Amino acid sequence: MKQRKRPTAQGSSNGHESNNSNRNEQGPDSASAFSSSTAFHTSTSTSSSSSSSTTPASKTSVKSNTTTTTTTTRSKTGSNKADAKAGLKPAAVHSQTMLLELLLTVTRSSLVIVTPLVAGMILRVAPSMMEPIYGSIFIEEGFLEYSLASVIVGVVLAMIYTFLLNKRAASATAVPSTSSSPSATATNVGSTLLTAEDRLAAEATAAGLRKDAGLRKGIVVSLDLCGLVLASAFLTTHVMFKHSGEFGPWRGPHLTQFVLAYPLLALLGFANTLACVLRSYERVHIRTWISCVLIQAGAILGLTLVVFQMAPQGQNCPRVYSSAILVVVISSLHKLLAFIHGEVAIPDERLESSRRKPQTASSRASLAMSFIPLILVLALTAQNVTRNPQCQASVVKAHNPVNGNYTILARNESVTGWISVVDENISRRNDLHIRVMRAGHSLIGGMYAETGDSIFGSFYMPEAVRLIKNREKGHQETVLQIGLGVGIASGSLIQHGLLVDVVEIDPAVVDYATEFFDWPAPHEKFIQDGRQFIKSAPEGKYDYVIHDVFTGGGVPPSLFSLEALHDIQRIMRPDGVLALNMVGSEHPIKAQALNSVRRTLHTAFKHVVAFKESPDDDDAYQNIVFFAAQFPIEFDQYEPPPFPTQEEMDFWMKQHQQGGHNGHALRPSDMRDWILSSFQDWPLKTPYDPTKGELILDRNNTLNGMQRLGAEDHWHAMRSLLPLDFWINY
């Protein structure tokens, strides 16, 4: 009777082992990398009892184990029958329970939270960090494709890493033990076989622990590297920006992303793949494991898209550094949990005795050393927040060196990116200094400090809408300007007594135009997206619409679609006129965007004429202004205003000396007079051909891709106008 009670008592004491056998009873296709630790404990206890007994006792123990197994099987059958009577499916309940346990481990659940926050942030921030150096067209060209490829590279590297861990563990298990015990050689055949099984089980458990440690190390190291990549982002990208002239606008953004977004996404893919690998103590059905992988991947992808859409705007530096700190803090918590519990998993009594490591002086020293990445990230964050000029909210001393050629008067990381106002300290243009407003890698306006003339003559051309014949002019004329710039066009129209409403998406542009470019107050100003405004504006309100939204090497395609032009036509009077500015070239290879805009304008309006900003080479990349209406367009001859009196000139000079508004927008301008008197002599040389170009529609708007070649010309033009030092200092 004693021999029959021993196995039963052993079975009752190993309740967790019986529970594990219940959980793992799903068929021969169960997915498990190594034997569980509880199996090792059971084998050891059985071995100790068997080695001290005789052969008959061993036979009796085997019979007792057989009896226990039969009893356990019967109990399982009974519980399954009870579940069936209750309407439950034991296999499904079991699979859902194990799936929940897999998903709720500390490693997997933390990565499901951290990965979307970091990935969604970097997909939004990384291109915008390139915009001040490379413009708005090239920064997203192929970026998503390269980002996806980076994630795939990380997944593949993680699979190779896991394969090497498994191979190493298998080779360590296959090495035969050379040690022999006299007691083992003296026992019978049955006892010898049992001792060999115990040794193999111990070796398999040790190999599983080594694999688990390798997976844990791979995850925390990849998270630490993510934090360091983010914390050093503004330093490494600034070094790459210094070589932007050598890289060019096509290769430059991608080469720079190889020190920012691409390695970061590869590391996240690496860490998440390792997290999906089963640990040695996780013995689940293959379908449960696949479900875990699919749920984790789907959750990360969905949450990444949510984060990407929720934070389209904002300052880059705080988002990058907060993400860096978050990642290394999570990594440090993993290390601390591993130090305490021996494995990054939800505390489980099944793991306490086999996974917890002794806390020695060397292990404490190793734990302290593992926090070095956290210290480095915090140090880099503090250094960049306090000393890096690109991460300051306003102008600091580092922006304006003593012997610099340019002085930044104001700067702001606004809703459309970096907006700054810069004065030229040197005179290279007939002893005239310039003041410009910079938006990314383009100049959205500027004027000569001494005369108040615009540095871009095309900004005066929209004023020619007043010269169009065949219009009723016996009422107060109203104007809508979409896109402010520095206020040259609207200021000229205000000078002539027109009521001007201005729609500008970026509040910093409005503030700087008023403060630094003497833009007079309009009738009304709206800080919102131009496309949204024209959808909701009253019908038939405006006599003229000035459309000038070029920046960063291109134009926003949504404001050039046929639907957008129909909205503009709706808010104009029947005899209203649209003046639309774009930058393009008549060169056959580069004229695709120009031809598409012409075709779309001719579709929306019955009469369209276009003029270049200068009589230069026809193939040159330059401003082109279209005038569109529902009636034939003819212009009256421009008559320059009378020259100001000496009293008026003294008044403007006095304001200039006192540092107040110079009245540039209200002063007569030689540049304006020349442009308005001569622009009719500079029409497009290429006749309109309705078979050339695409019709730009909201549902299939490809204008952004058509602007690539022209954007490259614009990028090189900006670099020839102003040197590298100007562009990398923002």
DSSP string over 344-376: SS---HHHHHHHPPP--HHHHHHHHHTTHHHHH
Q: Cβ distance 102 to 42 under 8 Å?
A: no
Q: What is the pLDDT of residue 211?
A: 87
Instruction: At 474, list the tokens.
Output: 């016996």
Instruction: Look up the CATH number of the domain holding residue 565.
Output: 3.40.50.150
Q: Cβ distance 669 to 451 under 8 Å?
A: yes
Active site residue 224: no
Q: Residue 623 pairs with which residues in a beta bridge?
A: 583
Is the per-residue pLDDT at 349 higher than 70? no
Over the stretch 242-294, which tens digit does the pLDDT of each residue have? 999 999 999 999 999 999 999 999 999 999 999 999 888 888 888 888 999 99
From 390, 425, 449, give the residue that closes a domain.
390
Q: What is the pLDDT of residue 641?
A: 76
Task: Please state the pTM of the whole predicted model.
Answer: 0.80
From 349, 375, 390, give the residue that closes a domain.
390
Over the stretch 519-530, which tens digit does the pLDDT of each residue have? 998 999 999 999
Q: Residue 608 pairs with which residues in a beta bridge?
A: 628
Q: What is the pLDDT of residue 655?
A: 58
| CA gap 78, 99 in Å, rounded | 25
Phi and psi for 579 in degrees, rounded to 5?
Answer: -115, 110
Over the stretch 118-162, which tens digit does the pLDDT of each residue have? 999 999 999 999 999 999 889 988 999 999 999 999 999 999 999
Instruction: Identify which has the larger pLDDT, 458 or 32.
Output: 458
* Residue 448: inside a domain: no
Is the per-residue pLDDT at 517 higher than 60? yes
Are 381 and 487 members of one domain? no
Are 513 and 641 members of one domain? yes
Q: What is the pLDDT of residue 33?
A: 36
Is the per-residue pLDDT at 86 higher than 80? no
Instruction: At 532, list the tokens.
Output: 């949204």
Q: What is the pLDDT of residue 592?
A: 93
Is the per-residue pLDDT at 469 higher than 60? yes
Are 327 and 465 members of one domain? no
Counting the structural domains of the chain, the total is 2
Q: Residue 440 burial (CB < 10 Å; 0-12/13-18/19+)? A: buried
Q: How confident is the model at residue 92 (pLDDT cuts 50, 70, 90)?
A: very low
* Residue 249: inside a domain: yes
From 302-306, 598-602, 706-710, the region with the lowest mean pLDDT: 706-710
Average pLDDT over residues 608-618: 86
Are 683 and 604 members of one domain? yes
CB atoms within 10 A of CB 11: 19
From 343-352, 486-495, 552-561, 563-572, the region with the lowest mean pLDDT: 343-352
From 87-91, 402-406, 467-471, the region with the lowest mean pLDDT: 87-91
Name the average pLDDT for the chain: 81
Average pLDDT over residues 567-590: 94
CA trace torsion 564, 565, 571, 575 (10° rounding)? 180
Instruction: Identify which has the larger pLDDT, 389 or 95.
Output: 389
Instruction: At 410, list the tokens.
Output: 């104001």
Average pLDDT over residues 400-409: 88
Q: Residue 434 pairs with which residues in a beta bridge?
A: 448
For 459-513, give the DSSP string.
GGGGGGGGGBSS---SS--EEEEE--TTSHHHHHHHHTT-EEEEEES-HHHHHHH
* Residue 464: inside a domain: yes
Instruction: Identify which has the larger pLDDT, 200 or 46.
Output: 200
Average pLDDT over residues 29-35: 38
Q: How confident is the model at residue 489 (pLDDT cuts 50, 70, 90)?
A: very high
Q: What is the pLDDT of residue 644?
A: 65
Is the per-residue pLDDT at 219 higher than 90? yes
Q: Catalytic residue among 212, 506, 543, 548, which?
A: 548
Are 132 and 238 members of one domain? yes
From 340, 374, 390, give the residue that closes a domain.
390
* Residue 49: inside a domain: no
- Per-residue three-class SS string for 426-450: CCCECCECEEEEEECCCEEEEEECC
Are 143 and 277 members of one domain? yes
Q: What is the pLDDT of residue 427?
A: 58
Q: Cβ distance 571 to 539 under 8 Å?
A: yes
Q: How confident is the model at residue 653 (pLDDT cuts 50, 70, 90)?
A: low
Q: What is the pLDDT of residue 429?
A: 54
Residue linked to tokens 């356990």: 72
* Residue 435: inside a domain: no
* Residue 684: inside a domain: yes
* Residue 64: inside a domain: no
Are 159 and 282 members of one domain? yes
CA distances from 533 to 40, 90, 304, 371, 692 (A): 71, 60, 30, 52, 31
β-strands 443-448, 524-527: how paired? unpaired
Instruction: Identify which has the larger pLDDT, 200 or 654.
Output: 200
H or E stretch at 623 = strand 622-629
Name the residue range of residue 651's domain.
458-728
Q: What is the pLDDT of residue 339?
A: 78
Please, what is the angle between helix 143-174 and helix 261-276, to 10°? 40
* Residue 77: inside a domain: no
Average pLDDT over residues 603-611: 97
Over the stretch 332-341, which tens digit does the pLDDT of each residue have? 998 888 877 6
Are 219 and 310 members of one domain? yes
Are 590 and 717 members of one domain? yes
From 77-81, 410-414, 709-713, the region with the lowest mean pLDDT: 77-81
Average pLDDT over residues 679-698: 93
From 20-29, 275-284, 604-613, 694-703, the region with the lowest mean pLDDT: 20-29
Q: Cβ distance 180 to 296 under 8 Å?
A: no
Are 139 and 266 members of one domain? yes
